[in-house]
Amino acid sequence: MSITATRESVPRTASSLHLSPDVISTPYLSVVIPIYNEEESISTLYTRLTTALEELGCSYEIIAVDDGSRDRSFAILREQAQQDPRLRVVRFRRNFGQTAAFSAGFDRARGEVIITIDADLQNDPADIGRLLAKMDEGYDVVSGWRARRQDPFFSRRLPSIIANGLISRITGVALHDYGCSLKAYRAEVVQEIRLYGELHRFIPAVASWQGVEVAEIPVHHEARKFGQSKYGMGRIVRVLLDLITVRFLLSYSTRPMQIFGLLGLLSMLGGLIPAIYLTAIKLIDYSVSIGDRPLLLLAVLLIVIGVQFISLGLIGELVVRVYYESRSQPIYAVREEINQAPKVREVTA
């Protein structure tokens, strides 16, 4: 039996990961970087990251996930990876999004602790030590908080402040900055969570709900020097929709009737009130015509359609979840890998 096969037959629990025979040769830290068209930043990032990691003095691997870049990002990564076996590169077939990139990194990470960091030099690798120190205090997830965030106010910071407030309220896990990519996780925590959509930002909420300790520390943040942000205002809507999903999955996924039933009752009530009102008018004065009230029709129609859409969306989310979890189908497709290490987790066949 090959080593890989033995590893893959080990169940994916925390203790078995630690007890696996090759634990000594695996690195302590895995740094996961999502990369989409960041050719100008990669070399500087690599230098600053390796300097910071060398200073920490622990064993590490860097997993750079090229999310279908159309610039020279992959070529630069390949060149560096040929000189440094600790740099592992995964190249996607197309752009699958930042969540998929994180997911591929987590699937491949062998370290006990996983660090995520953006490739655009907005996060400072020198902060990694502080994340780890916080983790040593007994936390399983330590999230960075861009306390002095260097992004435009109206298009970035304001939506982010509102989103963080909403997410904190709705998930019950109060963090200042869900969107900061610089985070540290205990590997077993993050590897148990299946990711899709824009869900990577909700990992602390989901993890905390599973009973792990989440902390937050302020980290540095710099303005983007090269390239452009990969996101526009559309992200706000996507994050809001994901928030509804997360809330739903956290509280109602095991008893969908609680929410569907409630919505159904509410909508029936919303329909009954105008219906009773119209019936009453008709009964009091038979000559009044109630069939020509377009506004009323519109209101009823909108309510019904709204309810239908929400319900369908939630059922869809459940189906998607079942689909991904039962087939353990990854949410990305890989073109090639450099410095590929034996898999610890089961990924694609």
Instruction: Please give the residue ranges that form the binding site for ligand UDP (CB under 6 A).
Output: 34-36, 38, 67, 95, 97-98, 101, 118-120, 122, 229-231
Measure the CA–CA gap between 245 and 67, rounded to whole angstroms: 25
Measure the CA–CA gap between 317 and 339, rounded to whole angstroms: 36
Least Å from the CB of residue 225 to Mg ion:
10
End-to-end CA distance of the chain: 17
330 binds, among Mg ion, ligand UDP, none (CB under 5 to 8 A by kind): none
Question: Which of residues 35 and 249 has its CB atom nearest to ligand UDP in the complex?
Answer: 35
210 binds, among Mg ion, ligand UDP, none (CB under 5 to 8 A by kind): none
DSSP state of 201: G
Measure the CA–CA gap between 12 and 181, rounded to whole angstroms: 25
Determine contact, residues 157/140, Cβ cutoff 8 Å: no
What the block records as the tokens of 168 is 């904190």
Of the candidate spans 117-125, 139-147, 202-210, 264-272, the one that interacts with Mg ion by CB under 5 A turns out to be 117-125
Question: Which of residues 154 and 286 has its CB atom nearest to ligand UDP in the complex?
Answer: 154
Question: Which of residues 228 and 326 has its CB atom nearest to ligand UDP in the complex?
Answer: 228
Question: Which of residues 123 and 191 has its CB atom nearest to Mg ion in the complex?
Answer: 123
According to the binding rule CB under 5 A, does residue 160 interact with Mg ion? no
Least Å from the CB of residue 11 to ligand UDP:
30
Measure the CA–CA gap between 110 and 328, rounded to whole angstroms: 19
DSSP state of 253: T
Least Å from the CB of residue 181 to ligand UDP:
6
Least Å from the CB of residue 120 to Mg ion:
4
119 binds, among Mg ion, ligand UDP, none (CB under 5 to 8 A by kind): ligand UDP
Measure the CA–CA gap between 288 and 167, rounded to whole angstroms: 49
| DSSP-H helix ranges across 157-255 | 158-171, 187-191, 203-209, 234-251
Nearest to residue 178, comparing CAs of 189, 170, 188, 168? 168
Question: Which of residues 101 and 190 has its CB atom nearest to ligand UDP in the complex?
Answer: 101
Least Å from the CB of residue 235 to ligand UDP:
8
Question: Which of residues 17 and 77 has its CB atom nearest to ligand UDP in the complex?
Answer: 77
Angle at CA of residue 160, ends 106 and 218, nearest 5°? 65
For Mg ion, the binding residues (CB under 5 A) are 120, 122
